[in-house]
Structure 1
Amino acid sequence: MNVIYKVDSDAVIQDIGGSWDFFAKENEGPHLLSSNVVGTSLWTYIIDSSTRKLYQDIIVRVLDTAEPVNFRYRCDSPGMKRFMNMNITKEGTGVLFNSSVERVETRSPEVYFSIKSKSLAKIIKRCSICTKLNDGTGWKEIGPWLSEGNFDNDDINLSVMYCVCEKCSRSIRTIPGRQTLYTGVDSRR
């Protein structure tokens, strides 16, 4: 399954293809159907500033160099871990994003995420790329984090603040033999 979208140089979504609508319906996102998304800004759908900055830098790099950017990331739902691959290429005066599913694993218990206010005392960070969590003790996969006794009920509701961890930011921003992109990452662990 591929989810494809094209943005112009101002990051306005110009076209959608592949399994976009199927993916939106399967994930209870009827408001994200192509008919509702085309013509809107990509930034409407990227919540945190570090992920937004990463995507802004990628768009600029792809438009300036015409060199593709490819990276692996996670796009999980409450009951599934989705291991994805993103391929970003220049197409005309815009940028084409092509996400493909590499594999899917069932997650148990189900984990639900909501956005947490930065002003609350304890902040759990979630990387937008690898989906690891950081509660101030380091970045961990959700399973090991839960097994440390943080929760013990069947379904888990976590309030998180999204960001991009340093490891993911480094791996996406660095191309061997080329200048590194913007490095303003959230390295606080």
Structure 2
Amino acid sequence: MLACDKLYMRQSDRISRSGGVCSRANLLKFQQVYYVLDPESRILWIGGEWDEFALANGGSGARSNAVLATPLAHHVAGVETRAALARMIDAVRAVQGPLRIDYRCDSPTLLRRFQMTIQPMKDGRVLMVHDLRDARGFEEALPHWHADEAAEARKCSFCGAVHQPGQGWNFAEDLGADHPAAVDYVICPGCRAQIDEVVTSLHQRRAPSTPMTGGFGPGVEG
């Protein structure tokens, strides 16, 4: 779903990272999705632009009236992603303090950066807020892809980077048309380290040692 190695170099009206280039575009209209989870992490209440976002991303089956009272985990792709999200939610419940972390949720045409805030509430409930922070059009549209836990290609749920056999990790915009059609959603080493740090710092009631709200990526394979 997340700014250590996301280094940007301005080149006239473009932004380049790791050799990949995205066209500059105006920020899309503000978009926010939020929902409340009950103590068993079932979706209790939904607000913001949930339905608009679901429909824009081909998720008609995930409209609010279809997901209420269902476990959040049923709507999260990838075993590692579900475990990481549960770990962050559990930390917020245990400490009764908020957690914030960035992640990417791209479409084939847009690089989109979101900030997720997990806020404790009474009686074991938590408020999850997803704010769209930035959106830029890819210079070259990516092929459409889908989640498949049997796929050889792995895609990080937090930064969107892709790992293919023998190729290491590459950001989606660097792959362009070579982005795989089927991906198994996982968490890359760099994003895993950031999640570890945000959870540890919350338990220790201190600020994270590295930024959690600037975006990050694969780092070094561990």
TM category (shorter chain) comes to: 0.7 to 0.9
Give 1:110's match in structure 2, choosing from 127, 136, 142.
142
Structure 1 residues 106 and 61: alpha-carbon distance in aligned structure 2, compared to 1, 3 A threshold: same
* Structure 1 residue 131 corresponds to structure 2 residue 160: yes
Contact 2:37–2:127, Cα closer than 8 Å, also in 1: yes
The CA distance in 1 between the partners of 2:164 and 2:50, in whole Å, is 33
CA shift digits 1:71-108 (9 cap, x unpaired) = 11011112111111111111122111100011111122
Q: Percent identity?
A: 25
Q: Distance in 2 between matches of 1:86 and 1:117?
A: 24
**Aligned residue in 1 for 2:107:** 77
8 Å CA contact 2:108, 2:143 repeated in 1: yes
Alignment of 1:25 onto 2:90: no
What secondary structure sits across from 2:41 in the alignment? coil
Q: Would the alpha carbon gap of residues 38 and 143 (structure 1) be closer, same or farther in structure 2, given more than 3 Å must change?
A: same
1:54 corresponds to 2:84: yes
Are 1:169 and 2:192 matched, yes or no?
yes
Report what 1:183 is aligned to: none
**Which of 14, 30, 33 is equivalent to 1:3?**
33
Deviations, residues 107-137 of structure 1 (Å, cap 9, x unaligned): 222321123353x6xx111000000011143
Letter in 1 for 2:187: V
Greater RCO structure (CA 8 Å; 6+ sep): 2
1: CA distance, partners of 2:121 / 2:115: 19
Task: Quote how far apart the aligned CAs of 1:45 are.
Answer: 0.8
Question: Which residue number in structure 2 is paired with residue 14 of structure 1?
Answer: 44
Q: 2: distance between equivalents of 1:177 and 1:101? A: 24
How high is the TM-score relative to the length of structure 2?
0.71
Distance 1:130-1:44 versus aligned 2 partners, 3 A rule: same
C-alpha contact (below 8 Å) 2:154/2:186 kept by paired residues: yes
Quote the Cα distance in structure 2 between the aligned partners of 1:115 and 1:13. Answer: 22
Aligned counterparts of 1:38 and 1:15: Cα–Cα separation in 2: 7
Count of residue pairs brought into register by the alignment: 173
Structure-1-length-normalised TM-score: 0.82
- Which of 71, 81, 94 is the equivalent residue of 1:41? 71
Q: Counterparts of 2:65 and 2:149 in 1: how far apart (Å)?
A: 31
SS of the counterpart of 1:174?
helix
Which amino acid in 2 is paired with 1:171?
Q
Distance 1:57 1:117, change over 3 A: closer
Amino acid at match of 1:130: C
Instruction: In structure 1, list runs of 5 or more residues that go unmatched.
Output: 181-186
RMSD: 2.2
| Farther off after superposition, 24-33 or 125-134 | 24-33
